Amino acid sequence: MAKILKGKPVAEKIGQDIKMEVEHLKKEGISPTLVTVIVGKNEDALSYRKMIEKKGGLFGISVANKEFPEDITEDILTNEIENLNKDKDIHGILIFQPLPRHLDINRIKYKIDPRKDVDGISPINISKIFSGEKDGIPPATSQAVMEILDFYDIPLLGQNITIIGRSLVVGRPLAMLLLHRNATITITHSKTKNLKEISKKADILIAALGRKEAITKDYLSPGQVVIDVGINVVEGKIYGDIRFEDAENIVDAITPVPGGVGSVTTSVLFKHLIKCIKSNSN
Amino acid sequence: MAKILKGKPVAEKIGQDIKMEVEHLKKEGISPTLVTVIVGKNEDALSYRKMIEKKGGLFGISVANKEFPEDITEDILTNEIENLNKDKDIHGILIFQPLPRHLDINRIKYKIDPRKDVDGISPINISKIFSGEKDGIPPATSQAVMEILDFYDIPLLGQNITIIGRSLVVGRPLAMLLLHRNATITITHSKTKNLKEISKKADILIAALGRKEAITKDYLSPGQVVIDVGINVVEGKIYGDIRFEDAENIVDAITPVPGGVGSVTTSVLFKHLIKCIKSNSN
């Protein structure tokens, strides 16, 4: 049976570090504060925000909330973001996506101050992650995968890592993060011809395609470490991108869903918040 | 024997398009102008600039030259770049690298206006290439590879492409350009374990590692298209990263060195200059 790479101890370890940092910062008179931005009615965002508020509370971090009406114009939203950029009591900004259709995140992402960009959407952070600059902030989910791999001491140097999925928040930034750690990276996607064969050959397989249990035993082989980034909600139940029952009988190690990558992501947002505060005070 | 994918006809095709565009622009009263920036004594840069001036002349494009002393401070250089950014008669800026040691390209790259950045070094362009935004400008060499692949109608969709080398000017941006064209991408480098095996399995193999004839027959297999990005000068002679004599007897098609990718890059710089002018006038 595969070793289960649970997210909880990873999140706890990150949480311990954060708490220590928060104590230090508070002694210096800094009260770490994250602001969440929700536009329109977004039930998913509201429940995610609740989780973030709760976690922030555990760390001694304040979470401020900004809610804007569904029909806010891009100019006004941009203005609001610029106000948050300037606000010295706000250290990090998290914009919940997706935004309503008339708002273009590809324009709005230019407006968020990269030094407050806890989820790594600003072009400056994207460029830093691409270039391997240490002060860059990657998207939280991609960093959550790195945290899990490191917590469980999974070697990366020279390893053949296949990523299934090429999204802007996981596949592509994660490829860069792993490349900077000297892994050999294959990025695959819906147009890949021989995905089963490629997946089977990987030392580490990372599924981030967003399709319920699409990765079955035909994609897996013994000895692999398998990371499941998928969070697919079907009839109120959460499924990963990997069929867990197949994987646990074949591979060496696998992250569960729920309780894997997803349970680390929120802690990473706060880790990034601390990183923002520390790099700005240098 | 392998088909030889010469750069010359590719450059000529690009040149024809550029000439037409330049004619149109001149009718509108715009005289396309590129400025080159050389810091200190740099013989390589001077001879490359000569090539650029000559090619610019063929296209009806003016090439202005800026030379600064070896000991220029970063502040003064930055100031000069900002003046070029503001200069309405300058449409593109090309900074020759490497810069003298005391100047940090990783800071200077933030100063160049992304709308004049013909060689794609600005973080905004890096982010656009990463994100697949069409108005982004990639590094010229990575785009030169795309031009060759497209000129010779080499299919990319679903193809397994292995890139050897992960530099900021070729390996990484090229991976993104090819990914946006729906290829499956493997990025390899000096720490890759089983490079021979991985290289052999690729449909398209792109060598951009910068080591004279490092890729021998052991890395190649029949049916492959092989692109050699290497320009290694040894005792006055130019060598590619691939041992041509090995490749021509095994693979389906190969770019020569010299006369391959390198001979397309300069034309791409001017293509980017036109792109800069057109997207700024929109």
A160 & A250 share domain: yes
- Would you say residue A95 lies in a domain? yes
B181 & B225 share domain: yes
Query: How confident is the model at residue A174, as a pLDDT?
Result: 98
Rounded to an integer, the average pLDDT of B256-266 is 97
A146 & A109 share domain: no
Q: How do beta strands A232-234 and A237-239 pair? A: antiparallel
B185 & B251 share domain: yes
Q: Does B191 touch chain A (CB under 8 A)?
A: yes
The structural domain count of chain B equals 2
Per the structure, the complete domain to which residue A105 belongs is given by: 29-113
Is pLDDT of B282 > 60? no
| Long-range pairs, B189-192, Cβ under 8 A, ≥24 | B189/A179, B189/A182, B189/A184, B189/B164, B189/B165, B191/A157, B191/A158, B191/A182, B191/A183, B191/A184, B192/A158, B192/A184
> What does the block give as tokens for A116?
């407050």
Rounded to an integer, the average pLDDT of A121-134 is 98
Partner residue facing A191 (CB), from B124, B158, B175:
B158
Neighbour tally for A87: CB within 10 Å: 14
What's the whole-model pTM score?
A: 0.97
Rounded Cα–Cα distance for residues B97 and B94 (Å): 9
pLDDT in tens, B115-166: 999 999 999 999 999 999 999 999 999 999 999 999 999 999 999 999 999 9
The residue count for chain A: 282
Rounded Cα–Cα distance for residues A205 and A185 (Å): 10
A235 & A150 share domain: yes
Partner residue facing B184 (CB), from A182, A183, A186:
A186
B144 & B103 share domain: no
B157 & B256 share domain: yes
Rounded to an integer, the average pLDDT of A253-269 is 98
* Contact at CB, B184 and A192, closer than 8 angstroms: yes
Amino acid at A24: H
- Would you say residue A275 lies in a domain? no
B197 & B255 share domain: yes
Helix (H, G, I), strand (E, B) or coil at A51: helix
* Contact at CB, B130 and A131, closer than 8 angstroms: no
pLDDT in tens, A61-116: 999 999 999 999 999 999 999 999 999 999 999 999 999 999 999 999 999 999 99
Is pLDDT of A282 > 70? no
Q: Kindly identify which residue of chain B lies nearest to residue A175, measuring between CA atoms.
A: B187
A83 & A195 share domain: no
Residues of chain B with Cβ-Cβ distance to A159 below 8 Å are 193
Min CA distance, B84 vs chain A (Å)? Answer: 22
Min CA distance, B11 vs chain A (Å)? Answer: 29
* Contact at CB, B186 and A182, closer than 8 angstroms: no
Neighbour tally for A194: CB within 10 Å: 14
**Residue whose structure tokens are 């060759």:** B148
- Would you say residue A109 lies in a domain? yes
pLDDT in tens, B20-34: 999 999 999 999 999
**CB-based contacts of A31: which residues, under 8 Å, 6+ apart?**
A25, A62, A89
The pLDDT > 70 percentage for chain B reads 100
Rounded Cα–Cα distance for residues B37 and B113 (Å): 14
Is pLDDT of A180 > 60? yes
> What does the block give as tokens for B93?
């800026």
- Would you say residue A20 lies in a domain? no
Query: How confident is the model at residue B281, as a pLDDT?
Result: 73
Amino acid at A144: A
Supply the CATH number for residue B203's domain: 3.40.50.720
Laid out side by side, the sheet with A33-39 consists of A62-68, A33-39, A92-95
B181 & B250 share domain: yes
Nearest to A231 by CA among A196, A200, A264: A264
Helix, strand and coil in chain A, % to nearest 5: 45, 15, 40
Query: How confident is the model at residue A281, as a pLDDT?
Result: 73
A186 contacts A203 by C-beta, under 8 angstroms: no
- Would you say residue B156 lies in a domain? yes
pLDDT in tens, B191-200: 999 999 999 9
Is pLDDT of B237 > 70? yes
A89 & A184 share domain: no
Is pLDDT of B267 > 60? yes
- Would you say residue A167 lies in a domain? yes
Rounded to an integer, the average pLDDT of B245-255 is 98
Residues of chain B with Cβ-Cβ distance to A172 below 8 Å are 130, 176, 179
The alpha carbon of B228 is separated from its chain's Cα centroid by a whole number of angstroms, namely: 13
* Contact at CB, A158 and B106, closer than 8 angstroms: no
* Domain end among A97, A113, A129: A113
Q: Is the dihedral of CA B8, B14, B16, B22 positive or negative?
A: negative
Partner residue facing A182 (CB), from B158, B185, B191:
B191
Rounded Cα–Cα distance for residues B187 and A160 (Å): 10
Min CA distance, A12 vs chain B (Å)? Answer: 32
* Contact at CB, B191 and A157, closer than 8 angstroms: yes
The pLDDT > 90 percentage for chain A reads 97
- Would you say residue B281 lies in a domain? no
pLDDT band per the 50, 70, 90 thresholds, residue B280: confident
pLDDT band per the 50, 70, 90 thresholds, residue B42: confident
What is B10-68 written as a DSSP string? Answer: HHHHHHHHHHHHHHHHHHTT---EEEEEEES--HHHHHHHHHHHHHHHHHT-EEEEEEE
A166 & A219 share domain: yes
Burial B206-242 (b: 16+ CB within 10 A, else e): bbbbeebbbbebebbbeebbbbbbbbbeeeeeebbbb
Supply the CATH number for residue A79's domain: 3.40.50.10860
- Would you say residue A121 lies in a domain? no
